[in-house]
Amino acid sequence: MRRHLNQTLDSVSYDVLENNPWRDDTKPVYVLTHTDNQLCTMKTRQNRSEVERELGLLFSKGRNRGLGMGSKAKQSRTGTSFNMFVEDIREGVLVFEDEDDATKYCDLLQGGGQGCEGIAELEASSVFDICHRMRALAVLFRRGRTPPLPKSLEQNLRARKRSLEDQDNV
């Protein structure tokens, strides 16, 4: 329970995104780099609820085939439903709105031996273009929020994003 609470508190300091959240494509953002200007990334788990929904529809239809008239009443009485959790693990590019926050986090990563060598200023649209080409996500740290320590961030990004209510269904 305590770990879950810490994970929740840490996760409010960043957003995991597939698409650019800004209308202004020229907005400057800051990414962390290591050798040869490679972007600093962390493995990031993302729930794929749209895939879960599609599979639920597909398998629910298949189960109902051939039941004939009155199948809806029979199905609701038995309470059968198809549930599947679909998650994807991809690289997450670390992106900061604030240059000072990016510099401080790079220093934290260097101190932890994770090899951050510097930061680069890019336009937000360029960062998301790179993410799309890499099939990566953007882990966006908003200005004014304190990011979690690197070890904690790494654990949170890899963790399954399930609430305590989900435990009843598993």
* Helices vs. strands in the chain: H and E counts, helices first: 6, 7
What CATH class does 2-47+86-168 carry? Answer: alpha beta
The three-point CA angle 82-84-89 to 5° equals: 165
Residue 120 and residue 30 in contact, taking contact as beta carbons nearer than 8 Å: yes
Please provide the average confidence, as pLDDT, over all residues in the chain.
Answer: 77
Q: Tens of pLDDT along 19-64?
A: 999 988 789 999 999 888 899 999 887 776 666 677 777 777 655 5
For the cut 80, the answer to whether the pLDDT of residue 75 exceeds it is no
Selection from 4-8, 30-34, 49-53, 153-157 with the highest mean pLDDT: 30-34
- Pick from 40-44, 158-162, 165-169 the range whose average pLDDT is largest: 40-44
- Confidence band (pLDDT; 50, 70, 90) for 10? low
Buried b (16+ CB within 10 A) or exposed e, 94-114: bbbbbeebbbebbebbeeeeb
Give residue 151's region: left, alpha or beta (phi > 0; psi -120 to 50): alpha
Domain boundaries of the chain, sorted by first residue: 2-47+86-168, 49-78
Residues 6+ apart with CB under 8 A from 77: none
Put simply, whether the predicted model's pTM sits higher than 0.85 gets the answer: no
